[in-house]
Chain A
Amino acid sequence: MNHKKTFVISTIIGIVFVLIALYTDFGYYSTLLFASGYGIILNSILHIISLMYWQNPKRRTAYEKKLQEEHINKVDERKQYLRMKSGYITYQIMTFALLILSFILALFQVNTWFITIVFLTFIFQWIVSIIVTYTLEKRF
Protein backbone atom coordinates (compact mmCIF):
# COMPACT_ATOMS: atom_id res chain seq x y z
CA MET A 1 0.00 0.00 0.00
CA ASN A 2 2.85 2.39 0.94
CA HIS A 3 4.40 1.90 -2.50
CA LYS A 4 1.12 2.78 -4.17
CA LYS A 5 0.74 5.86 -1.96
CA THR A 6 4.18 7.13 -3.05
CA PHE A 7 3.24 6.83 -6.72
CA VAL A 8 -0.20 8.42 -6.16
CA ILE A 9 1.57 11.40 -4.55
CA SER A 10 4.05 11.65 -7.43
CA THR A 11 1.14 11.48 -9.93
CA ILE A 12 -0.49 14.44 -8.13
CA ILE A 13 2.82 16.34 -8.23
CA GLY A 14 3.04 15.60 -11.97
CA ILE A 15 -0.54 16.85 -12.52
CA VAL A 16 0.30 20.06 -10.59
CA PHE A 17 3.37 20.58 -12.85
CA VAL A 18 1.28 20.07 -16.00
CA LEU A 19 -1.49 22.42 -14.76
CA ILE A 20 1.03 25.15 -13.86
CA ALA A 21 2.61 24.75 -17.31
CA LEU A 22 -0.80 24.97 -19.02
CA TYR A 23 -2.00 28.03 -17.10
CA THR A 24 1.22 30.05 -17.20
CA ASP A 25 3.28 31.42 -20.01
CA PHE A 26 7.00 31.31 -19.22
CA GLY A 27 7.82 30.24 -22.77
CA TYR A 28 10.53 27.59 -22.76
CA TYR A 29 10.24 27.01 -18.99
CA SER A 30 6.51 26.23 -19.26
CA THR A 31 7.33 23.58 -21.88
CA LEU A 32 10.07 22.21 -19.62
CA LEU A 33 7.63 22.07 -16.67
CA PHE A 34 5.00 20.38 -18.86
CA ALA A 35 7.46 17.75 -20.08
CA SER A 36 8.68 17.08 -16.51
CA GLY A 37 5.10 16.76 -15.22
CA TYR A 38 4.13 14.49 -18.11
CA GLY A 39 7.19 12.29 -17.45
CA ILE A 40 6.41 12.04 -13.72
CA ILE A 41 2.74 11.14 -14.40
CA LEU A 42 3.61 8.49 -16.98
CA ASN A 43 6.28 6.92 -14.75
CA SER A 44 3.97 6.89 -11.69
CA ILE A 45 1.01 5.44 -13.62
CA LEU A 46 3.20 2.67 -15.03
CA HIS A 47 4.39 1.83 -11.51
CA ILE A 48 0.83 1.83 -10.15
CA ILE A 49 -0.31 -0.49 -12.98
CA SER A 50 2.65 -2.79 -12.26
CA LEU A 51 1.82 -2.83 -8.52
CA MET A 52 -1.87 -3.53 -9.22
CA TYR A 53 -0.89 -6.36 -11.55
CA TRP A 54 1.38 -7.99 -8.98
CA GLN A 55 -0.85 -7.37 -5.97
CA ASN A 56 -3.79 -9.13 -7.61
CA PRO A 57 -4.80 -12.03 -5.27
CA LYS A 58 -4.46 -14.46 -8.23
CA ARG A 59 -0.70 -13.70 -8.37
CA ARG A 60 -0.10 -13.68 -4.63
CA THR A 61 2.33 -16.62 -4.64
CA ALA A 62 4.25 -15.28 -7.63
CA TYR A 63 4.36 -11.80 -6.05
CA GLU A 64 5.67 -13.17 -2.75
CA LYS A 65 8.33 -15.11 -4.69
CA LYS A 66 9.27 -11.95 -6.60
CA LEU A 67 9.56 -9.96 -3.34
CA GLN A 68 11.68 -12.72 -1.80
CA GLU A 69 13.98 -12.68 -4.86
CA GLU A 70 14.27 -8.89 -4.67
CA HIS A 71 15.16 -9.14 -0.97
CA ILE A 72 17.80 -11.82 -1.64
CA ASN A 73 19.31 -9.75 -4.45
CA LYS A 74 19.50 -6.79 -2.08
CA VAL A 75 21.14 -8.61 0.85
CA ASP A 76 23.21 -11.22 -1.05
CA GLU A 77 26.83 -10.43 -0.15
CA ARG A 78 28.25 -11.55 -3.51
CA LYS A 79 25.84 -9.25 -5.35
CA GLN A 80 26.71 -6.40 -2.96
CA TYR A 81 30.39 -7.04 -3.66
CA LEU A 82 29.72 -7.10 -7.42
CA ARG A 83 27.78 -3.81 -7.20
CA MET A 84 30.69 -2.20 -5.33
CA LYS A 85 33.21 -3.57 -7.82
CA SER A 86 31.14 -2.40 -10.79
CA GLY A 87 30.91 1.07 -9.18
CA TYR A 88 34.71 1.15 -8.79
CA ILE A 89 35.31 0.03 -12.40
CA THR A 90 32.74 2.55 -13.66
CA TYR A 91 34.55 5.30 -11.71
CA GLN A 92 37.83 4.39 -13.37
CA ILE A 93 36.26 4.24 -16.85
CA MET A 94 34.48 7.58 -16.32
CA THR A 95 37.66 9.27 -15.07
CA PHE A 96 39.49 8.14 -18.20
CA ALA A 97 36.52 8.94 -20.49
CA LEU A 98 36.13 12.51 -19.12
CA LEU A 99 39.83 13.24 -19.59
CA ILE A 100 39.84 11.84 -23.13
CA LEU A 101 36.61 13.71 -23.95
CA SER A 102 38.00 17.05 -22.75
CA PHE A 103 41.13 16.44 -24.84
CA ILE A 104 39.07 15.56 -27.96
CA LEU A 105 36.87 18.65 -27.45
CA ALA A 106 40.03 20.77 -27.18
CA LEU A 107 41.38 19.20 -30.39
CA PHE A 108 38.23 20.21 -32.26
CA GLN A 109 38.45 23.70 -30.73
CA VAL A 110 34.97 23.42 -29.25
CA ASN A 111 33.64 26.33 -27.18
CA THR A 112 35.77 26.72 -24.02
CA TRP A 113 32.65 26.42 -21.86
CA PHE A 114 32.05 22.82 -22.96
CA ILE A 115 35.65 21.83 -22.27
CA THR A 116 35.57 23.58 -18.87
CA ILE A 117 32.33 21.80 -17.89
CA VAL A 118 33.70 18.38 -18.87
CA PHE A 119 36.98 19.03 -17.06
CA LEU A 120 35.17 20.38 -13.98
CA THR A 121 33.04 17.21 -13.95
CA PHE A 122 36.28 15.21 -13.84
CA ILE A 123 37.57 17.37 -10.94
CA PHE A 124 34.20 17.09 -9.15
CA GLN A 125 34.21 13.30 -9.47
CA TRP A 126 37.76 13.13 -8.13
CA ILE A 127 36.98 15.41 -5.14
CA VAL A 128 33.79 13.46 -4.32
CA SER A 129 35.75 10.19 -4.39
CA ILE A 130 38.29 11.63 -1.91
CA ILE A 131 35.53 12.91 0.42
CA VAL A 132 33.65 9.59 0.28
CA THR A 133 36.85 7.62 0.98
CA TYR A 134 37.72 9.92 3.89
CA THR A 135 34.18 9.59 5.34
CA LEU A 136 34.25 5.80 4.98
CA GLU A 137 37.73 5.66 6.59
CA LYS A 138 36.29 7.40 9.66
CA ARG A 139 33.28 5.08 9.86
CA PHE A 140 34.94 1.70 9.35
Chain B
Amino acid sequence: MKNRLEQLRKERGIKQEDLAKALEVSRQTIGSLENGHYNPSIQLAFKIAKYFKLRIEDIFIYDVETQ
Protein backbone atom coordinates (compact mmCIF):
# COMPACT_ATOMS: atom_id res chain seq x y z
CA MET B 1 0.00 0.00 0.00
CA LYS B 2 1.32 3.40 -0.99
CA ASN B 3 0.79 6.51 1.10
CA ARG B 4 1.23 10.29 1.04
CA LEU B 5 2.30 10.54 4.67
CA GLU B 6 5.78 11.96 4.06
CA GLN B 7 4.46 14.47 1.53
CA LEU B 8 1.66 15.64 3.84
CA ARG B 9 3.97 15.86 6.83
CA LYS B 10 6.54 17.91 4.92
CA GLU B 11 3.90 20.16 3.39
CA ARG B 12 2.73 21.05 6.88
CA GLY B 13 6.23 21.36 8.29
CA ILE B 14 5.77 18.68 10.91
CA LYS B 15 8.74 16.77 12.30
CA GLN B 16 8.60 12.96 12.47
CA GLU B 17 9.04 13.17 16.25
CA ASP B 18 6.06 15.49 16.65
CA LEU B 19 3.82 13.37 14.43
CA ALA B 20 4.89 10.26 16.35
CA LYS B 21 4.07 11.95 19.66
CA ALA B 22 0.63 13.05 18.44
CA LEU B 23 -0.20 9.56 17.17
CA GLU B 24 1.31 7.80 20.21
CA VAL B 25 3.69 5.73 18.14
CA SER B 26 7.48 5.64 17.91
CA ARG B 27 9.44 7.80 15.46
CA GLN B 28 10.67 4.61 13.77
CA THR B 29 7.04 3.66 13.04
CA ILE B 30 6.52 6.96 11.22
CA GLY B 31 9.71 6.28 9.23
CA SER B 32 8.55 2.77 8.42
CA LEU B 33 5.12 4.00 7.32
CA GLU B 34 6.66 6.70 5.14
CA ASN B 35 9.00 4.38 3.31
CA GLY B 36 6.27 1.77 2.88
CA HIS B 37 7.89 -0.95 4.98
CA TYR B 38 4.93 -1.12 7.33
CA ASN B 39 1.18 -0.85 6.70
CA PRO B 40 -0.82 0.63 9.59
CA SER B 41 -3.77 -0.99 11.30
CA ILE B 42 -7.17 0.47 10.48
CA GLN B 43 -7.12 2.18 13.89
CA LEU B 44 -3.81 3.93 13.22
CA ALA B 45 -4.93 4.82 9.69
CA PHE B 46 -8.00 6.53 11.16
CA LYS B 47 -5.82 8.34 13.71
CA ILE B 48 -3.54 9.60 10.92
CA ALA B 49 -6.50 10.67 8.79
CA LYS B 50 -8.03 12.51 11.76
CA TYR B 51 -4.71 14.21 12.51
CA PHE B 52 -4.40 15.55 8.93
CA LYS B 53 -8.18 16.22 8.75
CA LEU B 54 -8.43 14.07 5.62
CA ARG B 55 -10.08 10.80 4.61
CA ILE B 56 -8.10 7.56 4.85
CA GLU B 57 -8.23 7.11 1.07
CA ASP B 58 -6.71 10.58 0.63
CA ILE B 59 -3.60 9.40 2.47
CA PHE B 60 -3.38 5.68 1.76
CA ILE B 61 -3.59 4.36 -1.78
CA TYR B 62 -4.54 0.73 -2.21
CA ASP B 63 -2.34 -0.73 -4.91
CA VAL B 64 -3.68 -4.04 -6.25
CA GLU B 65 -0.44 -4.89 -8.06
CA THR B 66 1.74 -4.75 -4.94
CA GLN B 67 -0.68 -6.89 -2.88
Contacts and interface: CB of A to CB of B under 8 A. Distances in A.
Interface in A1-54: none
A18 to B, nearest CB: 41
A78 B24 contact: no
Interface residues of B, number: 12
B44 interface: yes
Interface stretch (B4-12, B25-33, B50-58): B25-33
17 contacts: A72-B20, A72-B26, A73-B26, A75-B24, A76-B24, A76-B25, A76-B26, A77-B25, A77-B29, A77-B40, A77-B41, A77-B43, A77-B44, A78-B25, A78-B26, A78-B32, A78-B38
Interface of B: 20, 24-26, 28-29, 32, 38, 40-41, 43-44
